[in-house]
Amino acid sequence: MKKLIPLIVILLTIFGLAHYIAPKLPPQTELRPLGEFYLKNSYFGEYSAKSPEVVTSILWDYRGVDTFFETSVFFLAIIGSLTVFRLNKKEERLAKQKPKEFTGGLTLVVKSVTKIIVVMILAVSASIALHGHLTPGGGFQGGSALAVAPLLIIAAYSKYALEEHGLDKTRALILRSIGLLGIALVALVPLLTGGFIMQNQPIFPAEIKGQLVSGSLIYYNLFEFLAVGGGFTAVFLLLAIPEKVFKEILGVGE
Amino acid sequence: MIAFIWASVILALIATIMISLYGIARRPNLVKKLIALTIFGDTANLLVVLLGYRVIYPVAPPVLPYLSREALSQFVETAVDPLPQALVITAVVIGMAVNVLIAVLVIQLYRLYGTVDVRKIGERLPALLEGGEQ
């Protein structure tokens, strides 16, 4: 009951203030000119990205350099996490060894459901990323969805199950590096033919065999998908190292 | 009535921002600070998305429904502003990466100090800096 009083006070303040300022707020019914320009020109028009999805066309074409630097911030954040958890070769082998008391993950029911769900997550995340130029979605969202699949396997089985099947930290990092390298290459290709950095339409074909691929947008989405998915997977693998093993590595005993 | 709901949504978001700022400043637990920080970031993103919203009845997402020039003018009549959404989509993923970085640092602090209470870490830090290894 005592906790309810501040809540009621806050609610009453909000509704009272809302009643007071509601007539004074400007009506937000019109588009801003810049937004209108993007809506009109993203598929039709002279400065076109040939994408019906206006958000993706802004993200990777009109304001491509913004996104390029946002990707570098993402890169730095992942590198920072990996640096805090850095291990040498001997310690890495120690982290990969199963501890003696390891029993093999959750029950059979959870494991069977996980097997089905993981395949579905992979399909859905690929669909989100590769249809990014047609429907709401894109590389960032697809990559975040992709990173859920290894996380689910870590929870239901263990991190050792992932590593035994070949997806260890190094491979996840290689996947992420391929993604980042791809983004940089696709951004630099227009310079070779006299265009500008990250320019879309004059260089990349808008359609391949009748399928709308929106020039460079599909490549950016694909590589961003790999970069985000691989980066998060690497960090999740490091976070999944058992506390006891890590304390042994750090040399801080109980 | 619509203006009243619109104003309450904006004020509720501002109140959420203030509560999360209180959480960041006043909670001694680092994990709770991180939770308050995620709430702060998401609320700020939601306010930016709200900037691009249009308070009209048939309102559409910024995705062309048909690839024909005739439908374009009607689409522009109803579609919301795409620019804030494009800015937020990157901010969300950057926010997630930065949150992962902070979570990793909190875990590492817990392993080294055995606590996530900033007051206790602050007490032990000068001794660690003066005496080298503990």
Domain membership flag for residue B13: yes
Q: Is pLDDT of A15 > 80?
A: yes
Domain membership flag for residue A42: no
Domain membership flag for residue B123: yes
Q: Is pLDDT of B39 > 90?
A: yes
Please tell me which residue, B80 or A197, carries the higher pLDDT value: B80
Contacts of residue A194, defined as CB under 8 A and 6 or more positions apart, other chains included, come to: none
The reported pLDDT for the residue numbered B134 is 47
Domain membership flag for residue A18: no
Domain membership flag for residue B134: no
Domain membership flag for residue B34: yes
Domain membership flag for residue A94: yes
**Token representation of residue A61:** 């074409």
Q: What is the pLDDT of residues A16-43, one digit of tens each?
A: 998 888 888 887 888 888 888 888 888 8
ipTM: 0.81
Q: Yes or no: say if A138 and A224 are a contact pair by the CB < 8 Å rule.
A: yes
**Best mutation site among A8, A76, A81 for testing chain B: the one with the most B CBs within 10 Å?**
A81
Of A54, A66, A84, the CB nearest to B62: A54
pTM across the whole model: 0.86
State the CATH number of the domain containing residue B117.
Answer: 1.10.287.3510
CA nearest neighbour of A52 among A61, A64, A7, B36: A61
Q: Is pLDDT of A46 > 70?
A: yes
The mean pLDDT value for A111-134 works out to 92
Of B11, B83, B93, the CB nearest to A35: B83
User: Using a CB-CB distance cutoff of 8 angstroms, which residues of chain B are in contact with residue A247?
Assistant: 111
H or E, element range at B120: helix B118-131
Q: Quote the longest CA-to-CA distance of chain A.
A: 70
Coil, helix or strand at residue A207: strand
Domain that holds residue B32: 2-129
Domain membership flag for residue A58: yes
The values of phi and psi at residue A18, to 5°, are -65, -40
The mean pLDDT value for A187-213 works out to 79
Domain membership flag for residue A165: yes
| Residue that is written with structure tokens 């690929």 in the block | A126
The mean pLDDT value for A57-62 works out to 86
Pairwise CA distance, residues A238 & A86, whole Å: 9
Domain membership flag for residue A82: yes
**Token representation of residue A8:** 């009621």
* Confidence grade of residue B14 (pLDDT, cut at 50, 70, 90): very high
Chain mean pLDDT for chain A = 86
* Beta carbons of A22 and B3 less than 8 Å apart: yes
Q: What is the pLDDT of residues B93-130, one digit of tens each?
A: 888 888 989 998 998 888 888 888 988 888 887 776 77
Domain membership flag for residue B42: yes
Number of domains in chain A: 1
Chain mean pLDDT for chain B = 87
Q: What is the pLDDT of residues A79-112, one digit of tens each?
A: 888 888 888 888 888 888 887 777 777 889 999 9
Number of domains in chain B: 1
Domain membership flag for residue A35: no
Domain membership flag for residue A40: no
* Confidence grade of residue A135 (pLDDT, cut at 50, 70, 90): confident
Domain membership flag for residue B82: yes
